[in-house]
Amino acid sequence: MRTHVARGVTILIVVVLLAVMLLGALALARMTEAGTLASGNTTFRETSLQASEVGLNTAFAELQALVDENANAGTWYWAQVQPQDANGVPQVNFDAAPEIVLGAYSVRYVVERVCSVPLVTEPLRECLVKAEKVPASAIENPDPLDPPNARQFRATVRVIGPRNTTVFIQSLLTKG
């Protein structure tokens, strides 16, 4: 009689231990899956960041070729700063902006002149400009020279990748 009871208790302990080991294995498998998903999302985000460089370079080339900075150009250029959302992204229709397709990634860009008015009459007061130092003159008490200035533009690039990974990149571009 004792042997049957001992065997019954042993089987019960083995079943409980197997159940605990099964639950531990399932938890470990779930953690591994979550880690794989997280690293995959990080990879998509990093690749989107690299794809944004193509958008920035294209926006810069288009800006250099732009003839009239005082007029909006198509769906990619505005002569003054556009309204922004809480994250600083301009509220423009990115779906209408020029698109560059890089494999599974869609890259779109817009450029805004960093000015408060569309028709600029006083660039130093109405726009963000980049001032450069002028070498001092050897002449005694010369009239101060205005520093040369270059106009600033804000490029915003949106990249959409696999799993709807969306990345926005902004950069200031200088022209002049």
Q: 2 to each of 5, 7, 13, 66, how far by Cα in Å? A: 5, 9, 16, 96
Say whether pLDDT at 54 is over 70.
yes
Is residue 147 very low, low, confident or very high in pLDDT (cuts 50, 70, 90)?
low
pLDDT in tens, 85-139: 999 899 999 999 999 999 889 999 999 998 888 787 777 778 877 766 656 666 6
For the chain, the average pLDDT equals: 82
What's the CA gap between 71 and 58, in Å, rounded? Answer: 19
What's the CA gap between 23 and 75, in Å, rounded? Answer: 56
**Which residues contact residue 28 at a Cβ distance below 8 angstroms, ignoring those fewer than 6 apart?**
none
Query: Contact 10/2 with Cβ under 8 angstroms?
Result: no
Q: Is 61 helix (H, G, I), strand (E, B) or coil?
A: helix
Between residues 36 and 46, the one the model is more confident about: 46
The reported pLDDT for the residue numbered 78 is 92
The reported pLDDT for the residue numbered 13 is 86
Domain boundaries, the chain: 2-136+145-175
Q: Is 24 helix (H, G, I), strand (E, B) or coil?
A: helix
The reported pLDDT for the residue numbered 137 is 60
Between residues 110 and 70, the one the model is more confident about: 110
Between residues 153 and 124, the one the model is more confident about: 153
Is residue 36 very low, low, confident or very high in pLDDT (cuts 50, 70, 90)?
low
- Which value, in Å, is the radius of gyration of the alpha carbons in the chain? 30
Beta bridge partners of 150: 130
